[in-house]
């Protein structure tokens, strides 16, 4: 009897031990390791800190620059295309990132396209002493960073050069074919100026570059002529009424450091030859947040008018230019109504690699 009771107790103990061991093992399996908790999904599709990356701008002094990106820039990524989407005057890179992510989600291209939204900071946006920043308007013109007294300065356009160079690295992006730089409003002015003034386009044999300009109110004119309603043609305006109308960034006089690297003839060649698309919202015809100074009104009554007039300017003075113009119905001054419209998505789809 004692022997039987002892055997019974032993069996019960073994079962209990086995259950505890199973419970402990299961608990360990379910609890992720610290490194696993930090893994970020790729592609990263939310404009939060998970998708925010910091790159280094090298020079006599190194600066840090923040971007939102669907993919890391320092790993092997099998994507075919890249879209660098530049924010407007509010410097809301996160919202621009969300817009273009929605576009590639709609096109089911999240695995094939890297979306990057750069963040051009003003002084009030600076969080640490390595952050690079620009004046309120200077970033959109390709001006050098602030403070102006510093000898260690970077053009905002050189940031795009840095991003394109990273994307052209075949060790990290072996399948990448095309890079598109797009924008809306002030971001589009940035893109148009950059398209005319950069030297990287055409010098990276494996990469095609295209530019998307949506609802910009300013354009770079290459001579002193502006549209005249009186004669229904382009002519030199009355200079006494609008002094400085042809200065950069509206014209080629008094250009900044980045744009001065190229001759006027080279800038004209770039404007004529580069793959640029104007995306014009047909209802962007109000004066909301519209600059109405003399030099601005020489370009047209509103943004839609200014885009159409610039295209006419190109047709007259650059007969073989490579610009294209697409009008987006029912779109006012709203980036989503341009890029997420049926016409906008169709345009993006046709631009991307198959």
Checking if the pLDDT of 204 tops 90, the result is yes
What pLDDT shows up at residue 41? 84
Domain assignments of the chain as residue spans, ordered by start = 2-34, 47-351
Alpha helices in 172-239 (DSSP H): 186-197
| CA-wise closest residue to 276 among 338, 343, 349, 189 | 189
Which band of pLDDT confidence, cut at 50, 70 and 90, is reported for residue 333? very high
CATH of 47-351, one of 3.30.565.10, 3.30.43.10, 1.25.40.10, 3.40.50.1820: 3.40.50.1820
- Which structure tokens are listed for 258? 């980045």
Q: Tell me the average pLDDT across 124-152.
A: 94
Checking if the pLDDT of 14 tops 80, the result is no
| CA-wise closest residue to 271 among 219, 340, 229 | 219
Q: Tell me the average pLDDT across 267-277.
A: 98
Strands 226-228 vs 178-184: parallel, antiparallel or unpaired: unpaired
Checking if the pLDDT of 116 tops 80, the result is yes
- Which structure tokens are listed for 335? 């980036």
Check residue 100 and report its DSSP letter.
H
Which band of pLDDT confidence, cut at 50, 70 and 90, is reported for residue 40? low
What pLDDT shows up at residue 9? 41
> Whole-model pTM above 0.85?
yes
| CA-wise closest residue to 216 among 244, 261, 243, 249 | 249
Average pLDDT, the chain: 90
The H-or-E segment that residue 101 falls in is helix 93-106
| CA-wise closest residue to 316 among 248, 210, 249, 221 | 221
Checking if the pLDDT of 37 tops 80, the result is no
What is the secondary structure of 22-89 as a DSSP string?
Answer: HHHHHHHHHS--HHHHT---SS--SSSGGGEEEEEE-SSS-EEEEEEESS-SSS----SEEEEEE--T
Q: Per residue in 303-321, pLDDT tens?
A: 999 999 999 999 999 989 9
Which band of pLDDT confidence, cut at 50, 70 and 90, is reported for residue 75? very high
Say if CB 275 and CB 210 are below 8 A apart. yes
- Which structure tokens are listed for 223? 């001579």
Give the integer Cα–Cα distance in Å for 286 and 246: 24
Question: CA dihedral defined by 84, 86, 91, 94, rounded to 10 degrees?
Answer: -40
Q: Tell me the average pLDDT across 250-270.
A: 98
What pLDDT shows up at residue 39? 55
| CA-wise closest residue to 188 among 47, 107, 307 | 307
**Max intra-chain CA distance, the chain:** 121
Q: Per residue in 139-182, pLDDT tens?
A: 999 999 999 988 899 999 999 999 999 999 999 999 999 999 99
Q: Tell me the average pLDDT across 64-89.
A: 97
Contacts of 236 (CB under 8 A, 6+ apart): 224, 225, 226
């Amino acid at each position: 009897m004692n022997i039987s009771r002892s055997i019974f107790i032993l069996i019960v103990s073994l079962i209990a031990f086995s259950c505890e061991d199973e419970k402990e093992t299961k608990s360990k399996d379910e609890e992720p390791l610290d490194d696993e908790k930090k893994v970020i999904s790729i592609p990263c599709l939310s404009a939060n800190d998970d998708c925010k990356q910091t790159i280094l701008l090298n020079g006599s002094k190194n600066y840090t620059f923040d971007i939102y990106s669907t993919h890391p820039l320092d790993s092997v990524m099998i994507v075919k295309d890249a879209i660098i989407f530049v924010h407007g005057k509010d410097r809301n890179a996160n919202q621009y990132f969300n817009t273009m992510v929605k576009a590639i989600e709609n096109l089911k291209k999240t695995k094939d396209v890297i979306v990057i939204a750069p963040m051009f900071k003003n002084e009030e946006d600076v969080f640490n002493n390595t952050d690079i920043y620009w004046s309120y308007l200077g970033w959109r013109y390709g001006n050098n960073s602030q403070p102006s007294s510093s000898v260690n300065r970077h053009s905002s356009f050189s940031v795009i050069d840095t991003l394109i160079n990273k994307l052209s690295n075949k060790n990290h992006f072996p399948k990448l074919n095309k890079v598109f730089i797009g924008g809306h409003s002030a971001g589009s002015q940035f893109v148009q100026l950059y398209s005319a003034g950069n030297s990287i386009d055409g010098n990276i044999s494996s990469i095609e570059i295209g530019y998307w300009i949506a609802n910009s109110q300013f354009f770079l004119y290459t001579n002193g002529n502006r549209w005249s309603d009186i004669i229904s043609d382009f002519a030199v305006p009355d200079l006494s009424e609008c002094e400085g109308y042809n200065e950069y960034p509206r014209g080629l006089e008094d250009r900044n450091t980045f744009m001065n690297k190229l001759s006027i003839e080279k800038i004209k060649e770039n404007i004529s030859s580069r793959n640029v698309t104007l995306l014009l919202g047909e209802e962007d015809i109000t004066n909301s947040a519209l600059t109405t100074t003399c030099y601005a009104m020489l370009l047209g009554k509103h943004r839609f008018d200014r885009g159409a007039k610039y295209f006419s300017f190109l047709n007259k003075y650059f007969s073989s230019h490579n610009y294209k113009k697409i009008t987006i119905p029912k779109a006012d001054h709203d980036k989503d109504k341009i890029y997420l419209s049926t016409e906008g998505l169709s345009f993006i789809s046709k631009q991307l690699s198959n």
